[in-house]
Structure 1
């Protein structure tokens, strides 16, 4: 049982780290050539565009990503609280619900970015690693949320 709990916590922390990195590093867009692997902040002179214009939908994506981090942190905190206070045989419904909400916020933010970016992105640009990390964090958060809902507390 201890290994199961440790695996679940590690899965949750991995999803949380991916959410933090994809939100803090705003590299959602990079040039699609040899410069694409370079650091986004260091090549401003070479027209490597990594900072996005402050439009309403970008702010919505950022808000959804921040909400996903908040819900994921709350979910981890609730898991540890419920681990010590939940009755034997009880399920971690509240923890799982918060984590599923976090995954839905990530998915919503990534979908908004995907749908709205063709309006201003030309063919020479490609999605950056923050965008990819957000899509990787989505299934990890969803899986951990579903595991929390299924998990029962044992002695």
Structure 2
């Protein structure tokens, strides 16, 4: 039982860390090795100063939707972890972790919606006159897509997990 609890908690922490990275890092779309775009900034690497220079992205409704959904996903997953830790001490013997699983499922659905919106509306989100075929998705998009099944798996595990003494 202890091994199962540790495994579920580690899965939750890994998926939460991946959500944080996907939301905050600078690589949602890579134009070149010296120019990248994320949910918050467009960044250029200056060879002369050896630093990244970032400017705010141009706001669009689709971009704001992706930003809000990714933040909601992080919030739902964080709340789910806190609720799980609280339920370990509060729930009576034989009870199920329904609320924890529900919060984690909401995190999965909001992450899925954000990834889907970004994938389907990247032309409007990136709002560049450039050809999108000259760029490629960054690792943050891949991490965000990988979080969807991890969050769903942990949600199902929480729903089926029964507290034992």
What TM-score comes out, normalization by structure 2 length? 0.82
Residues 130-141 of structure 1: pairs in structure 2 closer than 5 A: 130-141=140-151
Is 95-104 or 136-145 further displaced after alignment? 136-145
Aligned CA-pair RMSD = 2.4
- Contact 1:61–1:109 at 8 Å: present in 2 too? yes
Normalized per residue, the structure richer in strand is 2
1:4 to partner: Cα distance: 0.4
Tell which has more relative contact order, 1 or 2 (C-alpha 8 A, sep 6+). Answer: 1
Structure 1 partner of 2:122: 117
Gaps of 5+ in 2: 37-41, 48-53
- Contact 1:26–1:50 at 8 Å: present in 2 too? no
Aligned length: 150
1:95 to partner: Cα distance: 0.2
Gaps of 5+ in 1: none
Indicate yes or no: 2:111 matched with 1:106: yes
- Contact 1:27–1:50 at 8 Å: present in 2 too? no
Normalized per residue, the structure richer in helix is 1
What TM-score comes out, normalization by structure 1 length? 0.87
